[in-house]
Every structure is written in C-alpha cells, then in structure tokens.
C-alpha cells in the first residue's frame, strides 16, 4: 500500500542546520521509499501570518526551494510545489472554515499564547491577533486534506494542528460524505530519532533566538558560527563531559557511530574546545560542501527554479482540481446543467423501476401492491390490521433475503415465516407464470 506523506516549510527565513537535521533530511530520505507518495511544499500563505516584509518572503521562497533541491529532493518522484500556486487550497480552506467550530480554534496553542500574553500585559485579549493567526489551523487542515495525506511529519508543537485537521475532516465527512469518507484522516508522525539541534547558546536552534548555524553559508561563515558555540571553562587537558555538551550533540547528528565514539574518547581525554570545534567544522563542511555548490548554482538561476515549481504545481493540481469539484458537489455547489441532467436521469431510472404502492381498503385494513417496470401488478398483499405490520412485510421483501415463491392456483404466492403474505394474479399458462416469477425476482434483487 502506498503511503502519502505531506510536509510544508514556512517561507519566512533562510534554512539553517536545525531545519536540515530536524525536517528536510528525514523528509528527503522518506521520499525515496518505494511505498511513499511524497508532497513537499513551500508554505508561503502561512508566511503572511508571521511576516509583513514582501522582500523577505520572496527571498525565503527562493532560498527554501533551492535548499530542498540542492539537498537531493527528486522532483520526478516527489510532488514539490508552492502553496500559493494551488488555488484550490484557499477555496478548500473556506469550505472547512464553514464547518470548523470556533471553540476548537479557541484552543489552538498559538492563539492561546497570544491571548495569555495580552492578558499578562493588561491589553485587550485579542490585541494584535489577526484572523490569519486565529484560523491558521484551518489553512493547515486544507493543506493536508486537499491531498488526503496519510502521514504528516511534524514537531511536537504541531501535533495539535494535525489533530485539528482530523477533527475538521471528520466533521466534513459526517455532514457531507453521504456515507463516503471524502477525507482521509491524517496521522501526525514524530521522528523520535531526530534530535532537536541545540543552537550556539545551547537553546533550541531557532531564528527567534538568533543562535543558528547557516546551512549554505561559505566555509568561512560556517567556521565562524561554530567558533561562537558556548562551552564550559574546562582547559585543554581537562576531561570534558560529552553528555552535557551541545557541541557534541551537534557532532552526533551528522557523524557515524565510529566517529562519535572516537570524538567522545578525545573529549574525555582532554581535547581542547578549540580543537573540538575544528573537528565539528570539518565534519559539517564535508557533509555540506557539494550541496552548497548545487545551492549556489540554483540560486543564480531563479527562472529554472520557477519552472520546477510550476511543474510541481501542475502535477499537484491534477489531484486537487477534480477533488475540489467532488467537494463542491458534496456541499451543494453544483452546476444547474449537471443538476438537470442528473434529475432527468433519475426520473428515467425511477420510471423504469418496479415499485410498491401502499393503500387502505374500505374496511380499514392495509395492503400493498408490487408493480413491475411496465406498471403491471406482480403481487397483491394480504390484508394487515395496521400500517406498521404491512410496512414490515414490505421492508422484508425489499431486504434482499431469499424469496420463498410457491406456484398455486394458476399464479404464485410469496411466503414469509410459514405464511403466504402476497399473491400474484392468475396467468394464462405456466410459461407466463414463470416469466412473472423471473420479473419478481429481478424487481426484488438487491441493488448494487
């Protein structure tokens, strides 16, 4: 079975080493699996929630696209696109907004954090809160549900958003699915073996903390960043504690088991921090140098990147466009022409079908007839004291259970629970009777 995987990265900054180790590298590895159908996108609509600098967003889109390609994403295998090139996504976002509960969105972590901060500062709870921030989880749900992703690799802080996408998708299925699961309910995937990289100061590597290591800076820029990593005051010759060193944690994320063991032994043996940082530089420069050259070549040809992304969008829209048409149909946004054609078809279909007709006799009892497609009577029921009893027999005849049909008096009768509950008219001969029995069985056969 093919598993559809979807990952997006917000275009508000330049990718750093933490992005590579925590998201990009495992995603590219996953995309190479034989059973994977991978969708990776630039979340540039999401960027508008966080950033009001158009130049920064444009530059970030370019840098992030070049990063994924330079690090080995195969666009022939994976679907790689910009969110803003798929017009079906914002339309789906509105359809989902119309079923998403405000109470659900009130519980979103980012919104609650903004409200709590405002309250602490004595501000109006919603001061500075845009509808983009508030409804961010619905747009993320549209990203995921548009392509019916099975698995969504995310950080722990994003698990709630995937769970909200499940809730919204389930609600939509219930309201408009008519028994069909329109949306696959996604599963959040946490890469337990992918460590969150520490930054230069030991906190999580993040643009917010300004403690990142550049992914595709020059070798000199990489070396200078590593030189700023905070270490303890142990002198050369004094044993260092690898397990409490974020420099060693960074080294672990990019080295083999043998390299880690050797580096650990050197630290315990008193390796100077300056030498340790040189070891880390050599490791990272070896890992990134070829990709850095590819990245610089891609950045220098933005028109080629544009062509790649537009091709990815066309590939994605081959799925999104017909699926959105199905969703529009489900909620009632249907073409009048299609509606008229469907109504005519249903009318013709109904006119050619056998049908039951219930009625009440003069004595107050209840009966029903079964008429074939031509309107000829196949069965006339016995009398029932009340409509409920007649309806129960009628329902059983249409349930698909095996018919007990017995020929008698020139016609036939249908039996249930040892009793004849309906009779046919009399026929001229046995052949005509058999033909009527065949029409009866066809009329009461279960519908596919």
Q: Is 156 marked as a binding-site residue?
A: yes
Q: Is 7 marked as a binding-site residue?
A: no
Q: Is 224 marked as a binding-site residue?
A: no
- Residue 446, CA distances (Å) to 349, 405, 441 in order: 16, 17, 10
Q: Is 60 marked as a binding-site residue?
A: no
Q: Backbone phi, then psi, for 183, in 5-degree steps?
A: -110, 135
Q: Is 212 marked as a binding-site residue?
A: no
- Residue 81, CA distances (Å) to 28, 53, 76, 284, 440 in order: 15, 22, 12, 29, 57
Q: Is 361 marked as a binding-site residue?
A: no
Q: How far apart are CA 247 and CA 335, in angstroms?
A: 62
Q: How far apart are CA 179 and CA 173, in angstroms?
A: 8
Q: Is 274 marked as a binding-site residue?
A: no
Q: Is 244 marked as a binding-site residue?
A: no
Q: Is 196 marked as a binding-site residue?
A: no
Q: Is 205 marked as a binding-site residue?
A: yes
Q: Is 207 marked as a binding-site residue?
A: yes
Q: Which residues make up each annotated binding site? A: 10-12, 18-19, 143, 155-157, 197, 204-208
Binding residue numbers for L-tryptophan:
143
Residues at the binding site for ATP are 10-12, 18-19, 155-157, 197, 204-208
């Amino acid at each position: 079975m093919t598993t559809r995987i979807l990952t997006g990265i917000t275009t508000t900054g330049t990718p750093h080493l933490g992005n590579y180790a925590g998201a990009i590298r495992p995603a590219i590895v996953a995309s190479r699996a034989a059973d994977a159908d991978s969708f990776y996108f630039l979340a540039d609509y999401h960027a508008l929630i966080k950033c009001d600098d158009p130049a920064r967003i444009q530059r970030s889109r370019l840098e992030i696209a070049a990063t994924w390609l330079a690090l080995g994403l195969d666009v022939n295998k994976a679907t790689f696109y910009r969110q803003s090139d798929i017009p079906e996504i914002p339309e789906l976002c509105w359809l989902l907004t119309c079923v998403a509960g405000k109470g659900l969105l009130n519980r979103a972590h980012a919104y609650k954090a903004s409200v709590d901060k405002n309250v602490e500062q004595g501000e109006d709870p919603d001061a500075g809160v845009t509808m983009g921030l508030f409804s961010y989880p619905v747009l993320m749900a549209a990203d995921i549900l548009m392509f019916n992703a099975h698995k969504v690799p995310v950080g722990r802080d994003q698990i709630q958003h995937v769970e909200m996408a499940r809730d919204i998708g389930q609600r939509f299925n219930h309201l408009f699915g008519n028994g069909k699961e329109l949306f696959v309910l996604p599963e959040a995937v946490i890469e337990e073996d992918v460590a969150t990289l520490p930054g230069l100061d030991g906190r999580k590597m993040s643009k917010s903390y300004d403690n990142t290591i550049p992914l595709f800076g020059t070798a000199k820029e990489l070396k200078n960043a590593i030189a700023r990593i905070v270490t303890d005051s142990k002198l050369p010759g004094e044993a260092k504690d690898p397990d409490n060193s974020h420099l060693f944690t960074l080294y672990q994320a990019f080295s083999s088991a043998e390299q880690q063991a050797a580096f650990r032994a050197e630290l315990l043996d008193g390796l100077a921090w300056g030498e340790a940082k040189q070891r880390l530089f050599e490791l990272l420069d070896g890992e990134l140098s070829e990709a850095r050259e590819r990245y610089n070549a891609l950045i220098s040809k933005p028109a080629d990147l544009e062509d790649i992304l537009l091709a990815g969008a066309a590939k994605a829209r081959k799925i999104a466009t017909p699926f959105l048409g199905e969703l529009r149909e489900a909620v009632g946004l249907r073409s009048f022409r299609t509606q008229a054609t469907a109504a005519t078809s249903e009318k013709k279909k109904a006119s050619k079908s056998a049908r039951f007709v219930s009625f009440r006799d003069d004595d107050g009892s209840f009966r029903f007839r079964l008429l074939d497609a031509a309107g000829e009577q196949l069965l006339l029921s016995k009398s029932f004291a009340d409509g409920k009893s007649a309806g129960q027999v009628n329902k059983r005849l249409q349930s698909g259970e095996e018919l007990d049909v017995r020929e008698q008096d020139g016609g036939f009768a249908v039996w249930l629970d040892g009793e004849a509950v309906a009779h046919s008219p009399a026929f001229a001969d046995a052949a005509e009777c058999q033909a009527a029995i065949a029409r009866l069985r066809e009329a009461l056969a279960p519908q596919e």
